[in-house]
Each structure stands twice: as structure tokens, then as C-alpha cells.
């Protein structure tokens, strides 16, 4: 089997200043990729399969660069991953809100007075970017990112908390560890049980038997959490008041190859995406006239060109998939489950 070294996420740079289709030396680029990411394929057949996958992904990346001039893309660790392998990173249950629901939402714009930009990182409220590995546990990373920042804002010392306990122990509302779950289910768990530190319950990126030690010292709790509605100006204001907030997205393939700029997929690309991913919003701003959310991702600090963060278009609920509400009815409540925040 081929090996994926989860800690190595640098970029092999390709310029997109001129059209490259038909002029790329795919074999040379693939050889560079294999060397940079220390790939070790099982046999020649596996290597050939990965090369063909690499070519398909690079071609798709070039198409995306033409369709999305607001962002730049590059070859990274996902370049030889198949669609099915990448889908395993997107760990939200299939019972997400259909994209067709977005068509019924008006474009809301409240009158909140907002600064041109805001970034919780500059206030030392955001903990380091982590790596979920080959496990559909993004939902736990959103939960923990929110709580870690919330803890600092509550006046407590910064602490790195455990995603693995949620992977192993939180079974609320379809949550099933590496097979996916809901971030809001993780917040419910943190209200009831608290979370231990990463050191006490380290991350393994696999499902294990639960071995939580409830009731002891060293667990971090939150008092409550809430959903936020579709008004993105209101969400930005709440982010400034409450700290980083959660947001769930459908994931077009272009995100995997993101490097810099504002990721702004078309509605058609969002609607065509089959899988959903949990992310954490830590700020907002404008780049070259394009408003964006600043996103803390969970694919490692060296993914992309912004230290594991990315900028996503702000203003049209980009690729929004929403949240489950705690039952299996497929209902999404009153339509206000678009963002989530821990409350102070």
C-alpha cells in the first residue's frame, strides 16, 4: 500500500500565469511530488494508478484556476488521492441540508457596524491548526476549536483539548467517530461531560473503544451553545462577541488544492459536491474587493499557503450545508441552523 505521511503538506509550486494544459511534463511533476512527499507505492501497478490519478487531479486543478480567478491552487499532498479517499475527510452525516434550500433564502444584510477586517488570531485567542489525518473527524475538530478559543475568552489559560474522546465516545445524533458526526453533538457532549486535554486522551485518527474518565479534574466544560441564522453580517458580529464560530460546507474538489486568495466556488460546483466538511471561522476581511471569511481548517498547518487556513467568499452562504438538530427526521428546524457558537 502507498504511504501518506500526514505531517508533510508543503506545496510543489506551479505558475498559473499562462495556460499550461498540454505543456506540463506530468512525469517530471509526478516524480517531484513523489520525492517531496516521500511516497512509497507497493508495486508498479500502484505507481501507475497513482500517476494517472495525479494527472487527473492536476488537470482539474488547472480548470479550477481558470474558473476561480480569486484564488490560486497548487500541488499538495492530495495530488494522488482519489475522489473516494478525499471524501473520507469530509465527516458530516449525509443528512445535511440540501443545497436547493439555499435558493429559497433571501440575501440578508443587517445593519451591524462591522470593521473592514477582524481576526481572532491577532488577539491570541486561536489555538494551533491540527491535522485530522485519514479520518472523517472534522466535526470533532470544529467542536474543539470553538471550545479552545471559548476557554481563552472566558479568562482561563489556553489548553489543547482532545478530539479523540469525541471520536470514541460521542454517539449523539448519528455521530460515529471517523465515520462522521455533528459538531453541535460535540458541543452537547462538552456541556454534559466536558473534554480532557489532548495529552490525557491523545489523537489517533481511528475509532477506538471509549475510555473516558468522567467527573475527574482537568476536564474543560462549556455552559451552553447556540445556532446562528443565515444573516452573515449578524454572524460576523456574533463572531466578534462570542469568539470563533462553526460553519459546515459542501466540498467541491477545488478546495483540496487551495493555496492562497479567496476560495469562491460557483453555486453549481457546490450543488454538485456530495460530501460535507466542518470548519471554524476565526475572522473576516476583504481581499481585492472580495469579502471573505477566514477559516481554520483541520488538514494540517502546512496545507495550502496560509498555514492551514483558507479564505472563503463571504456574502452568499458559500457551499453551506447547515447542521442537524438532534433527530433523524431530516428536518432542519426553523431554518436558522447555519452557524454555531459557544456562548459566554
Same domain, 198 and 104: yes
Same domain, 128 and 12: no
Same domain, 305 and 331: yes
User: Given this model, what pLDDT does residue 110 score?
Assistant: 73
Spell out the residues 6+ positions from residue 224 whose beta carbon is closer than 8 angstroms to its own.
191, 342, 343
Give the count of beta carbons closer than 10 Å to the beta carbon of residue 276.
Answer: 24
User: Given this model, what pLDDT does residue 302 score?
Assistant: 86
β-strands 258-263, 309-313 pairing: parallel
DSSP string, 21-37: TTT--HHHHHHHHHHHT
Domain that holds residue 28: 1-81
Please state the domain count of the chain. 2
User: Given this model, what pLDDT does residue 94 score?
Assistant: 67
277 is catalytic: yes
For helices 44-67 and 26-36, give the axis angle rounded to 10 degrees.
110
What is the value of pTM for the model shown?
Answer: 0.89
User: Given this model, what pLDDT does residue 323 score?
Assistant: 86
Domain C-terminal end among 61, 81, 101: 81
Same domain, 59 and 118: no
Same domain, 7 and 143: no
Catalytic, out of 138, 169, 270, 319:
138
- Kindly compute the dihedral angle of the four CA atoms of residues 72, 75, 78, 84, in this order, to the nearest 10 degrees: 70
User: Given this model, what pLDDT does residue 343 score?
Assistant: 85
Same domain, 48 and 93: no
Catalytic, out of 184, 297, 313, 319:
297
Same domain, 59 and 174: no
Mean pLDDT for back-to-back runs of 10 residues, the chain (344 residues): 37 36 82 95 98 97 95 95 94 61 50 94 98 96 98 95 98 90 94 97 98 91 93 96 96 96 96 94 98 98 95 96 60 66 84
User: Given this model, what pLDDT does residue 344 score?
Assistant: 63
Same domain, 181 and 272: yes
Same domain, 312 and 198: yes
C-alpha cell at 187: 458541543
Same domain, 58 and 199: no
Same domain, 76 and 93: no
313 is catalytic: no
User: Given this model, what pLDDT does residue 96 score?
Assistant: 47
Domain C-terminal end among 37, 58, 81: 81
Domain C-terminal end among 81, 96, 115: 81
Same domain, 51 and 196: no
Looking up residue 285, the CATH number of its domain turns out to be 3.90.70.10
Helix (H, G, I), strand (E, B) or coil at 250: strand
Handedness of CA 185, 191, 196, 198 (dihedral sign): positive
Amino acid at each position: 500500500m502507498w504511504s501518506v505521511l500526514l505531517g508533510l503538506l508543503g506545496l510543489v509550486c506551479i505558475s498559473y500565469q499562462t495556460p499550461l494544459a498540454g505543456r506540463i511534463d506530468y512525469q517530471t511533476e509526478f516524480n517531484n511530488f513523489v520525492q517531496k512527499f516521500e511516497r512509497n507505492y507497493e508495486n508498479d501497478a500502484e505507481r501507475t494508478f497513482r500517476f494517472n490519478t495525479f494527472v487527473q487531479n492536476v488537470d482539474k486543478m488547472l480548470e479550477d484556476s481558470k474558473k476561480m480567478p480569486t484564488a490560486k491552487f497548487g500541488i499538495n499532498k492530495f495530488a494522488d488521492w482519489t475522489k473516494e479517499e478525499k471524501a473520507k475527510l469530509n465527516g458530516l452525516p449525509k443528512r445535511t441540508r440540501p443545497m436547493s434550500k439555499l435558493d429559497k433564502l433571501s440575501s440578508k444584510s443587517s445593519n451591524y457596524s462591522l470593521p473592514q477586517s477582524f481576526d481572532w488570531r491577532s488577539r491570541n485567542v486561536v489555538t494551533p491548526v491540527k491535522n485530522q489525518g485519514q479520518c472523517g473527524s472534522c466535526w470533532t475538530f470544529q467542536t474543539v476549536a470553538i471550545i479552545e478559543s471559548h476557554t481563552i475568552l472566558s479568562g482561563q489559560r489556553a489548553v489543547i483539548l482532545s478530539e479523540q474522546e469525541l471520536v470514541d465516545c460521542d454517539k449523539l445524533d448519528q455521530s460515529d467517530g471517523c465515520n462522521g458526526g455533528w459538531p453541535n453533538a460535540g458541543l452537547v457532549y462538552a456541556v454534559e461531560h466536558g473534554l480532557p486535554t489532548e495529552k490525557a486522551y491523545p489523537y489517533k485518527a481511528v475509532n477506538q473503544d471509549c475510555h473516558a474518565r468522567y467527573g475527574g479534574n482537568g476536564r474543560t466544560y462549556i455552559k451552553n451553545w447556540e445556532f446562528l441564522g443565515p444573516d452573515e453580517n449578524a454572524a460576523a458580529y456574533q463572531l466578534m462577541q462570542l469568539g470563533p464560530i462553526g460553519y459546515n460546507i459542501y466540498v467541491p474538489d477545488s478546495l483540496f488544492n487551495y493555496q492562497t486568495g479567496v476560495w469562491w466556488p460557483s453555486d453549481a460546483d457546490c450543488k454538485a459536491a456530495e460530501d460535507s466538511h466542518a470548519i471554524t471561522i476565526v475572522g473576516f476581511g476583504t481581499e481585492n474587493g472580495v469579502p471573505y471569511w477566514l477559516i481554520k481548517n483541520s488538514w494540517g498547518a502546512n496545507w495550502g499557503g496560509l498555514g492551514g487556513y483558507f479564505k472563503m467568499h463571504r456574502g452568499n452562504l458559500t457551499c453551506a450545508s447547515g447542521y442537524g438538530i438532534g433527530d433523524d427526521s431530516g428536518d432542519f428546524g426553523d431554518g436558522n441552523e447555519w452557524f454555531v457558537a459557544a456562548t459566554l
